[in-house]
């Protein structure tokens, strides 16, 4: 599973003026990220507004990203929906379209018990041959995945790891030790280096969209044991994220990409674009940190 190590932007979904997916901009962004050295892409997750897209749009975004990557980077498709059956349909489409893996949240809105949780993942995992990454983000799902539950999930064929979007890196570390070939992605950009230090194999993140070179640099410096350089870049990341925490977070990636010249459109409602003063703060911080050169 080492081929899944590395840096994966949680790619935004670019919209055109009519609100449809802008496949031209998808290719522009994918090319730019690959030039920066990323290892692949995570699409239709929270940053990609996947839960606000129709199933047809999610299929279109996946196909456009796979075409744009053209084998130069792996594409992980986030396929979560409210029901198991539609999630399976999207997972099977992902496999047929050339995705390298799928990622699935635990059931949302409905508070299912542990047997239902296990069966949900078992049904999805058994529907394709693709690796499946559990998406752990308790702040948004309300589901705190325990080490024991993850141990049970790993008994399901194809469950290969997880995206860990939480600050409890001790629990992440304990999960990482459950299996030698387990893949664990850091999902909180501001603590990427911390996660690597405790066993993460790479990262998937929102701010990777507009500063991929920073996270590629952290990852490469970590692998080279250049901790001073890795820490310097992580602090740069944190300085940018600090500005993001002062505004409406879901609009940051698109505002930043627009500042870099990518016509990604605005977030889909109920999300909103940044206000002028919020956009100004993001742009000024990007410029101050040299992220627009």
Asked whether residue 184 is assigned to any structural domain, the reply reads yes
Q: Is 163 a catalytic residue?
A: yes
Closest Cα partner for 102 from 42, 176, 55, 182?
Answer: 42
Asked whether residue 48 is assigned to any structural domain, the reply reads yes
Asked whether residue 265 is assigned to any structural domain, the reply reads no
| Domain, as residue range, for 197 | 2-226
pLDDT tens, per residue, the chain with 293 residues: 568 999 999 999 999 999 999 999 999 999 999 999 999 999 999 999 999 999 999 999 999 999 999 999 999 999 999 999 999 999 999 999 999 999 999 998 888 999 999 999 999 999 999 999 999 999 989 888 899 999 999 999 999 999 999 999 999 999 999 999 999 999 999 999 999 999 999 999 999 999 999 999 999 999 999 999 999 999 999 999 999 999 998 899 999 999 999 999 999 999 999 999 999 999 999 999 999 96
Peptide bond into 270 cis (omega under 30): yes
Quick one: tokens of 186? 């850091």
The pLDDT value given to residue 250: 86
Q: At what angle do helices 84-97 and 114-126 cross, to 10 degrees?
A: 30
Judge contact between 216 and 38, C-beta under 8 A.
Answer: yes
Place of tokens 């899944």: 4
By DSSP bridging, strand 101-104 and strand 132-136 are: parallel
Closest Cα partner for 45 from 120, 109, 133?
Answer: 133
The single residue of 8, 42, 121, 135 carrying the catalytic annotation is: 135
Asked whether residue 74 is assigned to any structural domain, the reply reads yes
Asked whether residue 23 is assigned to any structural domain, the reply reads yes
The pLDDT value given to residue 163: 98
The single residue of 8, 74, 121, 163 carrying the catalytic annotation is: 163
Q: How far is CA 236 from CA 9, 150, 203, 240, 285, in A?
A: 17, 33, 16, 7, 11
Q: How many angstroms separate the first and last alpha carbons of the chain?
A: 35
Asked whether residue 214 is assigned to any structural domain, the reply reads yes
Asked whether residue 286 is assigned to any structural domain, the reply reads no
The pLDDT value given to residue 2: 60
The pLDDT value given to residue 249: 85
| pTM over cut 0.85 | yes
Q: How many domains does the chain have?
A: 1
Q: Is 27 a catalytic residue?
A: no
| CATH number, position 46 | 3.20.20.70
Q: At what angle do helices 252-259 and 276-288 cross, to 10 degrees?
A: 60
Asked whether residue 284 is assigned to any structural domain, the reply reads no
The pLDDT value given to residue 3: 86
């Amino acid at each position: 599973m080492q081929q899944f190590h590395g840096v994966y932007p949680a790619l935004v979904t670019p919209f055109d003026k009519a609100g449809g997916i802008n496949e031209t901009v998808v290719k522009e962004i994918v090319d730019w990220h690959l030039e920066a050295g990323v290892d692949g892409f995570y699409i239709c997750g929270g940053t990609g507004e996947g839960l606000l897209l129709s199933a047809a749009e999610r299929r279109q975004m996946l196909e456009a990203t796979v075409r744009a990557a053209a084998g130069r980077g792996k594409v992980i498709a986030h396929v979560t929906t409210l029901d198991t059956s539609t999630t399976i349909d999207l997972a099977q489409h992902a496999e047929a379209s050339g995705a390298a893996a799928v990622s699935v949240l635990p059931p949302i809105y409905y508070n299912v018990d542990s047997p239902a949780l296990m069966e949900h993942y078992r049904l999805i995992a058994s529907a394709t041959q693709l690796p499946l990454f559990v998406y752990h983000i308790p702040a948004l799902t309300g589901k705190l995945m325990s080490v024991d539950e993850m141990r049970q999930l790993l008994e399901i064929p194809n469950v290969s790891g997880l995206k860990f979007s939480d600050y409890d890196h001790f629990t992440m570390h304990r999960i990482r030790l459950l299996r030698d070939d387990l893949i664990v992605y850091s999902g909180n950009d501001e603590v990427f280096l911390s996660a690597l230090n405790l066993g993460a194999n790479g990262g998937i993140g929102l701010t990777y969209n507009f500063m991929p070179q920073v996270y590629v640099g952290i990852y490469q410096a970590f692998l080279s044991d250049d901790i001073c350089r890795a820490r310097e870049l992580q602090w740069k990341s944190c300085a940018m994220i600090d500005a993001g925490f002062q505004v409406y977070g879901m609009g940051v990636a698109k505002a930043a990409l627009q500042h870099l010249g990518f016509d990604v459109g605005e977030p889909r409602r109920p999300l909103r674009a940044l206000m002028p003063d919020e956009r100004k703060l993001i742009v000024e911080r990007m410029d101050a940190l040299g992220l627009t050169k």
